[in-house]
Amino acid sequence: MQSNFENDSWLYNPNLYRRAGCVLQADGIGFEPEAFLRHTTLDTKLILYQGKLGFPDEFKLKMAEVEPSGMELFETTFLLIEVSKAEVQAIQISEATSFFEQYGVEVQRLRDFPQVENLTLKFMTEESVSSRQDLPDEFVEMVIDNGVTGIMF
């Protein structure tokens, strides 16, 4: 059996590191995405990833040998929801607006779900920084009103 240290595939998940698109990421220590998704009206095709992004067992064992007693490694649980597949920021913003209009109640429920610490809207584009536009104030206000705690580019 190959160890996780020899095979770094645990570090790479194509759903987590996309080149373009827009995703909504909910995360928190102890957050249980499965419990949230049991009662969601979100289209299941929009769920890109759910679960822990933690450390391989080999790393945990090595840390247990050196960490002081009473200390522990915390692993954050994630839920990634696809908002847009578009490569162009203007289209991502338009599709994100439609997403929040359709699923705003679910986003607010996610924001209030136990152990959710962060709700981040991530824009990923291959456009140059100089060609990106500022987000419209109305869009930012709508996103924040729906409980998003951060916007990343």
Q: Are 78 and 53 in contact (CB under 8 A)?
A: yes
Is the predicted pLDDT of residue 108 greater than 60, yes or no?
yes
Residues 6+ apart with CB under 8 A from 28: 76, 77, 115, 116, 117, 118
pLDDT tens digits along 5-32: 444 444 445 555 556 899 999 999 899 9
DSSP codes, 50-83: EEEE---HHHHHHHHHHSPTT-----EEEEEEEE
Is the predicted pLDDT of residue 105 greater than 80, yes or no?
yes
Q: Are 121 and 151 in contact (CB under 8 A)?
A: yes
Q: Are 149 and 120 in contact (CB under 8 A)?
A: yes
Q: What is the average pLDDT value for the chain, to the nearest integer? A: 81
Is the predicted pLDDT of residue 2 greater than 50, yes or no?
no
Residue 20: its pLDDT value, please? 85
Query: Taking the complete model, does pTM exceed 0.85, yes or no?
Result: no
Q: Are 81 and 41 in contact (CB under 8 A)?
A: no
21 is written with which tokens?
């698109």
pLDDT tens digits along 43-89: 999 998 888 766 666 666 666 666 555 655 567 889 999 999 999 89
- What residue spans define the domains of the chain? 8-152
What distance in Å separates the CA atoms of residue 146 and residue 107, rounded to the nearest whole number? 6
| Other CB atoms within 10 A of residue 117 CB | 13
Is the predicted pLDDT of residue 104 greater than 90, yes or no?
yes
